[in-house]
């Protein structure tokens, strides 16, 4: 079984999730796998039961990059709650991801 499923969403709850996340990757590279693992860990820690993750592999469906204006991978797009936010990275910097998802205020 592939470590990254595409484009089937990973649902963590039966109800509509508060956070709808889309992770764009390019194949099952080390960077893509790390991004998914980091995202999953962060979501389980801070959003347990309140999120869905849809992984989109642009090597299989490159046309989907245009919809969210993806220029680099891996890119995480927070579709809900609005406004849409994007994070381009392997998501290993937890503090940056939390700020990007509006889960923790930016420290000045």
- 67 is a domain residue: yes
Please indicate whether residue 108 or residue 78 has the higher confidence score (pLDDT): 78
Residue 103 confidence (pLDDT): 87
CA dist 69 and 96 (Å) reads 21
Q: Is residue 87 part of a domain?
A: yes
What DSSP line would sit under 60-93, residue for residue? T-GGGGTTTT--SSSEEEEEESSSPEEEES-S--
pLDDT tens digits, 10-48: 444 456 789 999 999 999 999 999 999 999 999 999 999
Q: Does the residue 18 lie in any domain?
A: yes
Is residue 106 situated within a structural domain?
Answer: no
- Count up the domains in the chain and report the number: 1
Q: What is the pLDDT of residue 16?
A: 75
Q: What pTM does this model have?
A: 0.82
Q: Which domain holds residue 35?
A: 9-100
- Asked whether residue 1 is domain-assigned, the answer is no
The CATH number for 38's domain is 3.40.30.10
pLDDT at position 1 is 37
Q: In this predicted structure, what is the pLDDT of residue 3?
A: 53
Phi, psi at 19, each rounded to 5°: -115, 120
Q: Find out whether 27 and 74 touch, Cβ atoms under 8 Å.
A: no
DSSP letter at 94 equals H
More confident residue, 12 or 95: 95
pLDDT score at 8: 38
């Amino acid at each position: 079984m592939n470590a990254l499923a595409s484009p089937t969403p990973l649902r963590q709850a039966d109800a509509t999730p508060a956070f709808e996340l889309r992770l764009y990757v390019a194949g099952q590279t080390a960077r893509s796998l790390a991004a998914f693992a980091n995202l999953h860990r962060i979501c389980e820690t801070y959003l347990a039961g309140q999120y869905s993750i849809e992984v989109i592999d642009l090597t299989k469906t490159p046309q989907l990059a245009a919809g969210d204006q993806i220029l680099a991978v891996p890119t995480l797009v927070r579709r809900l709650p609005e406004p849409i936010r994007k994070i381009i990275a392997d998501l290993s910097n937890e503090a940056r991801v939390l700020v990007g998802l509006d889960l923790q205020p930016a420290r000045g």
